[in-house]
Amino acid sequence: MQQTDFLVIGSGIAGLTYALKVAQQFPDKKILVITKAAADETNTKYAQGGIAVVNDLEHDSFEKHIEDTLIAGDGLCNEHVVEIVVKEGPDRVNEIIEWGAKFDKEEDGDYKRGKEGGHSESRVLHHKDVTGKEMERALLDAVSKQKNIELNKHCFVVDIITQHHLGYLITKSTPDVECYGVYVLNLQTKQIEKILTKITVMATGGNGQVYRTTTNPFIATGDGVAMIYRAKGRIENMEFIQFHPTALYEPGVRGQAFLITEAVRGDGGILKNMDGDAFMERYDERKDLAPRDIVARAIDSEMKKSGTEHVYLDCRHFSKEKFVEHFPNIYQKCLSIGIDITQQMIPVAPAAHYSCGGIKTDEWGRSSINNLYACGECASTGLHGANRLASNSLLEGMVFAHRCFVDAAERIKNISFRNDIPDWNEAGTTKPREMILITQSLKELQLIMSDYVGIVRNDVRLQRASRRLDLLWEETEQLYESTSLSPQLLELRNMITVGYLIVKGASFRKESRGLHFNTDYPGKSELVQNIVL
């Protein structure tokens, strides 16, 4: 058993930013960060385009960034939260620069600012086309210098500990559910360990792996959301899954799809269909730089018309020098599969990319469970509403990590450890006989979600998805009850829960808004509401 005042689950931008701040404020306390994979294997590492921030008040303004965020969010953003994130953003970006992150600069020393869909100004700071890798590197470097942070890799958090584990019946209406710590599967020893905490921060990232095609790495399985839902915490707006319009189309490649950043369209890349027609002008006056929901639906419609699995992104008119300077990683990747972007168009298709909903929090990152905070992609803070504005999530991760830190630093004074928490009980379980039972269910889940709960939905598809998920759930629970735990089984169980929450949210929302498009209800409802499960 371990005991730590501050526990952080996740080593992406949100978890590490929070950990650094707490560690600096409380040099005599240990901060424990745990992650189920390698330290840098996070969605953060794969971020390409950059971080949206207003740091040039001569050409841009907070009001414009706020307005762009609200337009993308399609009526569902919490305006107060949008203002907080936009206005506190520059301070947080300055902090990560102080911790060592480098963003590209012009020759005169000013920052280079990219433009992406839905932005009225160029305001995206970036490090070539590998911004996330650079930010994650800087954060991990800073963490390694901070003596009171312990970072434990390959430790899979199974569940948070609440009164439920003390034998109390907890329901959605039980007041004051409290978090006392977590049970963790140590992937090296294969033992389930108990960690007691005063304050826990969930920073477990997104859930793209629930879909067959996603830009997200394998860790993005929605574990935090599933854990909080099991613990009877509040989950919000899960139906708003953002599909990135332009993932590289590589037939036969499973798992993570390579992203072609929206910044390529920001620099002049043009989407074309099989006939070479620049179709976006038929869908929106902002053409290729319309918000993502509009571009992804337009591509989906073009693909359905032509019966193909992709469209093209045309960059042949770029100067090679310029393209390589801004997008060296994309240039090399395309070349590695035989595409010279100066000669050939890039085949692209939409892929699940970002979860706008998640663990419901207030403006300080507090979840509905006492002593448990959430920040980063697993949280639903109210910033994104029905659709996230491009490059707002790295910013949100840092702003809310800071806010969790400010609130937790006060709250910790009034919390003590519980010493009556039982150990994990594995009695009655046996080793799993066949991994195929897990891998096949995962494939089924991904197919169900992609075919029935994708970019365009309707009631019949949602009902089908729901029935099929019920069966998968039943079978997986049987496995969970009877076999010893493995990360594959835990992730499958969590992803089925997340799939269920997406379907539930989508079924409750009888309208089309932002990223949720249901052909049975093509218009917006007058009732503007968040769906809380």
Scanning 58-66, 75-83, 387-395, 484-492 for contacts with ligand SIN by CB under 6 A, the matching segment is 387-395
Nearest-angstrom CA–CA distance, 426 and 438: 19
Nearest-angstrom CA–CA distance, 416 and 338: 60
Nearest-angstrom CA–CA distance, 204 and 193: 19
Q: Which of 394, 465, 469, 502 binds ligand FAD (CB under 6 A)?
A: 394
Nearest-angstrom CA–CA distance, 478 and 428: 13
Q: How far is the CB of 149 from ligand SIN (least distance, A)?
A: 27
Q: Which of 43, 48, 256, 518 binds ligand SIN (CB under 6 A)?
A: 48
* 261 part of the interface to ligand SIN, by CB under 6 A: yes
Scanning 59-67, 256-264, 474-482, 503-511 for contacts with ligand SIN by CB under 6 A, the matching segment is 256-264
Q: Which of 136, 223, 236, 262 binds ligand SIN (CB under 6 A)?
A: 262
Q: Which of 118, 347, 357, 376 binds ligand FAD (CB under 6 A)?
A: 376
195 phi/psi in degrees, rounded to 5: -120, 120
Q: Is 313 helix (H, G, I), strand (E, B) or coil?
A: strand
SS3 of 18-30: HHHHHHHHCCCCC
Q: Which of 14, 125, 455, 495 binds ligand FAD (CB under 6 A)?
A: 14
| Encoded tokens for 188 | 């090296």
Q: Is 287 helix (H, G, I), strand (E, B) or coil?
A: helix
Q: How far is the CB of 264 from ligand SIN (least distance, A)?
A: 8
Q: Which residue is nearest to ligand SIN (CB)?
A: 49
Give me the helix-helix angle, 393-411 and 79-98, nearest 10°: 90
Residue (375 or 462) nearer to ligand FAD, CB:
375
Unique residue bearing structure tokens 């504005």 = 389
Q: Which of 209, 393, 497, 512 binds ligand SIN (CB under 6 A)?
A: 393
Q: Which of 377, 400, 441, 485 binds ligand FAD (CB under 6 A)?
A: 377
Unique residue bearing structure tokens 């994990």 = 424
* 249 part of the interface to ligand FAD, by CB under 6 A: no
Nearest-angstrom CA–CA distance, 201 and 23: 14
Residue (448 or 490) nearer to ligand FAD, CB:
490
Scanning 31-39, 53-61, 339-347, 436-444 for contacts with ligand FAD by CB under 6 A, the matching segment is 31-39
Give the Å distances, CA to CA, from 186 to 41, 283, 528: 17, 50, 44
Q: How far is the CB of 366 from ligand SIN (least distance, A)?
A: 25
SS3 of 204-271: CCCCHHHCCCECCCCCCCCHHHHHHHHCCCCEECCCCEEEEEEEECCCCCCCECCECCHHHHHCCCEE
Looking only at the bridges linking them, the beta strands covering 192-202 and 372-374 are: parallel
One character per residue 263-302, x = contact with ligand SIN (rule: CB under 6 A): x---------------------------------------
* 69 part of the interface to ligand SIN, by CB under 6 A: no
DSSP H or E stretch at residue 463: helix 459-482
Q: Which of 157, 248, 260, 408 binds ligand FAD (CB under 6 A)?
A: 157
Q: How many chain residues are in contact with ligand SIN, going by CB under 6 A? A: 9
Q: Of the residues 265, 292, 468, 493, which is catalytic?
A: 292
Nearest-angstrom CA–CA distance, 417 and 284: 56
What b/e string do you get for 146-173 counting C-beta neighbours within 10 Å, with b at 16 or more? Answer: bebbebbbbbbbbbbbbbbbeeeebeee
Looking only at the bridges linking them, the beta strands covering 2-9 and 31-34 are: parallel
Residue (361 or 393) nearer to ligand SIN, CB:
393
One character per residue 513-532, x = contact with ligand FAD (rule: CB under 6 A): --------------------
Which of 377, 262, 389 is CA-nearest to residue 9? 377
Q: Which entry of ligand SIN, ligand FAD, none binds 400, CB below 5 to 8 A by partner kind?
A: none
Helix and strand numbers, DSSP H then E, in the chain: 14, 16
* 216 part of the interface to ligand FAD, by CB under 6 A: yes
Asked if 373 and 237 count as a contact pair (C-beta separation under 8 A), the reply is no
Q: Which entry of ligand SIN, ligand FAD, none binds 10, CB below 5 to 8 A by partner kind?
A: ligand FAD
* 9 part of the interface to ligand FAD, by CB under 6 A: yes
93 phi/psi in degrees, rounded to 5: -65, -40
* 114 part of the interface to ligand FAD, by CB under 6 A: no
DSSP H or E stretch at residue 186: strand 181-186
Longest Cα separation, the chain: 68
* 49 part of the interface to ligand SIN, by CB under 6 A: yes
Q: Which of 49, 89, 114, 266 binds ligand FAD (CB under 6 A)?
A: 49
To the query of whether residue 292 is one of the catalytic residues in this protein, the response is yes
Asked if 42 and 235 count as a contact pair (C-beta separation under 8 A), the reply is no
Q: How far is the CB of 373 from ligand SIN (least distance, A)?
A: 23
Scanning 25-33, 105-113, 261-269, 409-417 for contacts with ligand SIN by CB under 6 A, the matching segment is 261-269
What is the contact surface with ligand SIN in residues (CB under 6 A)? 48-49, 261-263, 354, 390-391, 393
The catalytic residues are 292
What is the contact surface with ligand FAD in residues (CB under 6 A)? 9-15, 34-37, 41-44, 46-51, 131-132, 156-157, 203-206, 215-216, 219, 223, 259, 354, 376-378, 391-394, 397
